[in-house]
Structure formats: structure tokens, C-alpha cells
Amino acid sequence: MSIKGKVAVVTGSAQGIGRGIALRLAQDGADICLVDMQIEKLQGVAEEIRKLGRKACAFQCDVTNRSQVFEAVDYAEKELGGFDIIVNNAGICITKPLEKISEEECERIFKINVFGVLWGIQAAAAKLKANKKKGKIISARSIAGHTAWAMLGMYSSTKFAVRGLTQAAAQELAPFGINVNSYCPGIVDTNMWTEIDHGCAPEKGVATGETWKASVAGIALGRAEKPEDVAAFVSYLAGPDSDYMTGQSVLIDGGIVYN
């Protein structure tokens, strides 16, 4: 079953997993409101979506700003004629030992990875309730939100927090026909993992690239994950085949963490 004619907001969609999700949702029939700070890159992704025959618009937004996230959902409805799905994908990573984390770094990662998700949940719920519509709220987690990783302690803690938000929101919003779930990627070949590899190298005393190689070697399916792998599962969460699923945080990692 398709999501043809649905309108989806995807945060952090200028590149990487977010771009992959936006393109897959468009391929499956949705019109997309792209949300990110990088407006020029967003315009490029919007053009890719239009070439697929779907509508697209771009909205520059800092997800740490609650009012801007609400404005993004309003903009999607105005420009695309409705609102049905939000994918709270925007996120950052900090790669260093916990004892070296500064107050500023702690505040920044929680504001983006946790507060940004909460504002997305709030904005989507408010719009869907106002329109008396069912809908899907989908948020980014990680394998690091199931099992904490050394050097990624702050990132892991934010992703554990998103699990709590997902479970609570699912219970609160179920009476309104709103499903709330999250997706947990593994070792994805994106800029974020390049940053993780570079951050681990000096702390572990290994060459750049070694952390990446060792991590990929531990994947049961034998290869690094692609944004398209994540996007295919997010499309399932966005569509009607997942209508009886809510409050779940599902691993899609090729076989790294088993839960």
C-alpha cells in the first residue's frame, strides 16, 4: 500500500539519511517539505524530488527553536496542501570520552537530538489534532540508543532519551489515531560516520579509517549500511502497512545489535 498524496516533513534532509528518506518517500508517492539549516542543499534535493513527479518545498529551520519547527509544519500545509507525516531525522554526534565533554557540547547535542524531536512531536500532534486527521510521527534513534558505545556516550544518551519520548508519545496520541515510532540505524556510510571515525582515531591511537573498518567488519550482513536501507524502513513506518504498530524503536542495522 502506498503513501501517494500524503504530505511529509523531513528534518535534516539536506544530505545523508535525511535526503535518502525524503527521496524514498517521494518515490513512494508523498509530497515532501524538506527542513534543514542548509537551504541551498535543500533546494537541490527539492529539485530531485520534482524530477520524480512529486511536489517539494524547502524550509530553513533550526530544530532547536520550537517556534521554527511549528512554522515548518505550517509551511508544509500551506505549500503542499496538507500534512500527514513528520520524520524527526535531524541530529548530530559528538565523538569523545565523557570526561572531556563540555557544558556547551552537552547542551548543543541535547537541544538538537532530543529537544528537536520533542518539538517535532508537538508540532505534528498539534496540526493533526487541529485537522482531525490520523498521521505518523517517526523519529531517528540509533543502535547507540540500544547499547551505549564508548566515545559516543553523549550521542547514546540522547538516543536513549528519544526512546522514552517515542513510547510516551505513542500512548498519549494513540486515541487520536497518531502512530509514533522510531528507527535505529547502524553503521551508515554518511558524513556522520566519517566524523566518528576521525574522532576515534586519536583517542584510540589508531589510523584514520580503522574504526570504520572494524565496525563494518562486525556487521552480520557483511557491508556498511546505506541511507537507502534506512529510508526503505522509514517508508514502511510512514505507510498504512504499519498502522497497527506504535511506540516501537526498531533496529535496522544489518545485524550488529540484537534485541
Residues recognised as catalytic: 155
Helix (H) or strand (E) holding 86: strand 85-88
CA 102 and chain centroid, separation: 25
What Å distances lie between residue 210 and 181, 186, 205, 213, CA to CA? 33, 17, 10, 5
- Contacts (Cβ under 8 Å, ≥6 apart) of 257: 143, 146, 147, 184, 186, 251
Distance CA(185)–CA(69), nearest Å, equals 24
Residue type, 234: V
- Classified as helix, coil or strand, 246 is coil
Three-class DSSP category at 59: strand
Residues 259, 247: Cα–Cα separation, whole Å: 15
